[in-house]
């Protein structure tokens, strides 16, 4: 058995999922996608056991640790960041500057 790394807080697969969701910081009520969480865990923890990840997602939802919305997950109890409303965003308006004359030949 390889020695455990010191300073590694995520010991279980569910802990790795929770730390990935918090690190990804996807705003909104839906949370982070399953694919993004899996990619993050693979990159940060070099862990690629899809069967264990699927079971941990299921266990987290049934235990009330994770909240699922389709294929997206968020940690229960974490604050929800609302997206800015559309009325405050600036919109770029494209104006046609062609005066209808087009290219004219010099006479």
Q: For helices 13-24 and 34-45, what crossing angle results, to 10°?
A: 110
The share of the chain scoring above pLDDT 70, in percent, equals 64
Q: How far apart are CA 55 and CA 34, in angstroms?
A: 12
Question: What is the pTM (predicted TM-score) of this model?
Answer: 0.66
**What is the predicted pLDDT for the residue at 14?**
93
- Spatial CA neighbour of 60 closest among 81, 37, 27: 37
**What is the predicted pLDDT for the residue at 13?**
93
Q: What does the pLDDT look like over 43-75, one tens digit per residue? A: 999 998 999 999 999 999 999 999 999 999 989
Mean pLDDT over each residue of the chain, to the nearest integer = 78
Q: Higher-confidence residue: 87 or 52? A: 52
User: Tokens in use for 105?
Assistant: 């030949």
């Amino acid at each position: 058995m390889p020695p455990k790394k010191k300073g590694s807080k995520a010991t279980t697969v569910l802990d790795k999922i929770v730390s990935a969701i918090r690190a990804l910081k996807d705003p909104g009520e839906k949370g982070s996608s399953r694919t993004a969480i899996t990619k993050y865990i693979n990159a940060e923890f070099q862990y690629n056991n899809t069967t264990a990840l699927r079971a941990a997602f299921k266990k987290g939802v049934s235990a009330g640790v994770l909240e699922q919305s389709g294929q997206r997950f968020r940690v229960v109890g974490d604050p929800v960041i609302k997206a800015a409303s559309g009325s405050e965003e600036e919109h770029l308006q494209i104006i046609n500057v062609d005066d209808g004359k087009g290219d004219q030949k010099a006479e």
